Structure 1
Amino acid sequence: MGPAPPHFRGMWRIGIDLGGTKTEIVALDPGGAVRLRRRAPTPPDYAGVIGLIGRLVEAAEAELGVAATVGVGIPGSLSPTTGLVRGANSTWLNGGRLDADLAARLGRPVRISNDANCLGVSEAADGAGAGHATVFAVILGTGVGAGIVTGGRILEGRNRIAGEWGHNPLPWMTAEEHPGRRCWCGRQGCIETFLCGPALAAEADGPGARDAAGLPARAAAGEARAAAALERHADRLARALAHVINILDPDCIVLAGGLSNMDHLYDRVPALWRGFVFSDGVSTPLLRARHGDSSGVLGAARLWDAPLGDAPVEDAWA
């Protein structure tokens, strides 16, 4: 994607978090302070997305009277083979040349990365993962994914799929869990199909349930069905993260997304993963994202500060 244009370096930064239902824009001044934030519904078509991002950026720059770099976090990635979006659960993005189309719309280069990578950038720079060498940053929401920041750099991998943890099979499946639900990706038994918000809601309230937000309160009030669903979910999350620890052994794991607000996860999951990690002790901290649901958009704004694989994240705030 090339370096940032010289007249943009060290100046204003705009981040876009392109979600399935909402799109958020944030503008950071040269000191890193948030000076503008807006949200808008995400159009369910490719041309609509290009138009929306163009309008949001133009309106923000006009309001602030500035020019800015633009970084975009998406629920997918750009293929290193074709340059096209692939793997997005907002399926209307797949097959689009999003970076080129946005660059044409905005008249400048645009840097794009997976939304979980953006989460990792933000949390590793000045969030819950600050000071940790390797951060595994997890999104637990309507989808499940992760980003990896190590040595201050986004780890995208040769195929730009590093962190696509949600599309591995749930490890150590029980007989009742096997073979698992069909995932939108076409496979069966993916971690995402067990750990996403709609899956947790369905675990408690049956097919068709989508909202799991009220389950902790229901469990605290003594509802056995809600408590059992939360315990099964915590056990599955522990098994899934134990796989990550066995392979990557990160210095910390940071949770974001709607389900990261469930307080019990931070005690229960580390207690459960001990039985699955191949070590005589597990000291890996499980942390709540410091920037909450703003982590993704803040990380997107910082993509030009920390070019993918080029410059350490920490150098941008040294």
Structure 2
Amino acid sequence: MRLGIDLGGSKIELVALDDCGRVLLRRRRATPAGSYRGTVAAIGELVAAAERELGQQGSVGVGIPGAESAVDGTVKNANSTWLIGNALRDDLQTLLQREVRLANDANCFALSEATDGAAEGAETVFGVILGTGVGGGIVVRRQVLAGANRIAGEWGHNPLPLPEEESLPPPPCYCGRRGCIETWLSGPALAADHLRHGGEALTAPQIASRANGGDSVCDATLQRYERRLAKALAMVVNILDPDAVVLGGGLSNIDRLYCSVPKLWRRHIFSDSVHTRLLRNRHGDSSGVRGAAWLWNAA
């Protein structure tokens, strides 16, 4: 039995999978936001309750909104800031009395979709989260690629390729830089871009819905978004050359992306043909927690 835990800023979700990926149990509870000790305790309580109910012990994988430092193993780059600087893996292993595997939540998403999701069977998969933030994860032969600095797949904090945007002031990012891909391609970024170009204050789903209904201003906003997404993903294809790119997060529900972006990225990809597939996720919001469980998909 594999236990997967998705540690989010507002909720902690646990899923138990059997060896075939069937869900045995699913539970969630609110995250004790701001309390590191409370967060560790909550994870421990979820695991204990699941194992009591199922009558067996499982392996434990945890998806976190950040990464582990290669220097001392503490959490870094987490938007759940109370995790930063703490040795989460060590503390969970002490509490649960077993080995625990941790990975960035975008890596977990990519692993889920590469294992038994939209990109099942693909050798190299790049998983993308397009939501409140923008993240990425890399899976090669069903194994997460963490990298020497534990930041493989941190696509959202590279600058957006120019030149179309060079006349615009680059938006500030929470990471301290300006012009990060996240500041152009997240849900809030799409809404802000719409406002900058004379649109109303709308959410990303509202913009997409109105564009589908023939609203020309919303359609122009989505065209800018598609062009920027195509350029940003082309950069990944040029470096990683994946078999598949799988989109997740709220913006992955915009149907037109899967047709328009592959047409647009061709001019930016350094190849006479492009075989990389752009795919919609199969497991939706469950991909992160399933991927955490699949951190134990190999010895």
- Under a length normalisation based on structure 2, what TM-score does the superposition of the two structures give? 0.93
Residue equivalent to 1:27: 16
Question: What is the CA RMSD across the aligned residues, in angstroms?
Answer: 1.9
Change (3 A) 1:179 1:224: same
1:265 maps to which of 236, 239, 257: 257
Indicate the SS of the match to 2:296: coil
Q: What's the offset of the Cα at 1:29?
A: 2.6
Q: What's the offset of the Cα at 1:208?
A: 11
Change (3 A) 1:107 1:286: same
Structure 1 position 36 matched with structure 2 position 28: no
1:66 maps to which of 56, 68, 72: 56
Question: Gapped runs of 5+ residues in structure 2?
Answer: none
Residue equivalent to 1:250: 242
Indicate the SS of the match to 2:170: coil
Q: What do residues 233-274 of structure 1 show as CA deviations (whole Å, max 9, x unaligned)?
A: 111100100101111111111111111111011001111111
Residue equivalent to 1:169: 159
Indicate the SS of the match to 1:99: helix
Contact in 2 for aligned 1:199/1:210 (Cα 8 Å):
no
Change (3 A) 1:300 1:220: same
Distance in 2, Cα, partners of 1:129 & 1:155: 16
> Which range moves more in the overlay, 23-32 or 75-84?
23-32
Percent identity between matched residues is: 59
Q: Give the aligned residue type for 1:268.
A: S
Q: Give the aligned residue type for 1:58.
A: A
Change (3 A) 1:190 1:177: farther
Residue equivalent to 1:136: 126
Distance in 2, Cα, partners of 1:177 & 1:183: 18
Q: Give the aligned residue type for 1:106.
A: L
Residue equivalent to 1:293: 285
> Which range moves more in the overlay, 100-109 or 128-137?
100-109
Alignment of 1:1-318 (within 5 A): 12-45=1-34, 46-175=36-165, 178-205=168-195, 211-306=203-298, 311=299
Contact in 1 for aligned 2:194/2:200 (Cα 8 Å):
no
Contact in 2 for aligned 1:198/1:212 (Cα 8 Å):
yes
Contact in 2 for aligned 1:202/1:208 (Cα 8 Å):
no
Indicate the SS of the match to 1:213: helix
Determine which structure has the larger helix proportion and give its number: 2
Distance in 1, Cα, partners of 2:204 & 2:41: 33
Q: What's the offset of the Cα at 1:215?
A: 2.0
Indicate the SS of the match to 1:49: helix
Distance in 2, Cα, partners of 1:209 & 1:198: 11
Distance in 2, Cα, partners of 1:186 & 1:173: 22
Distance in 2, Cα, partners of 1:88 & 1:41: 18
Contact in 2 for aligned 1:143/1:197 (Cα 8 Å):
yes
Distance in 1, Cα, partners of 2:169 & 2:20: 50
Where do 4+ consecutive residues of structure 1 move more than 3 Å? 175-179, 205-211
Distance in 1, Cα, partners of 2:114 & 2:221: 31
Q: What do residues 164-219 of structure 1 show as CA deviations (whole Å, max 9, x unaligned)?
A: 01010001142466441111111111001111111112222469968322222111
Distance in 2, Cα, partners of 1:22 & 1:211: 22
Q: Give the aligned residue type for 1:165.
A: W
Change (3 A) 1:301 1:208: farther
Change (3 A) 1:242 1:220: same
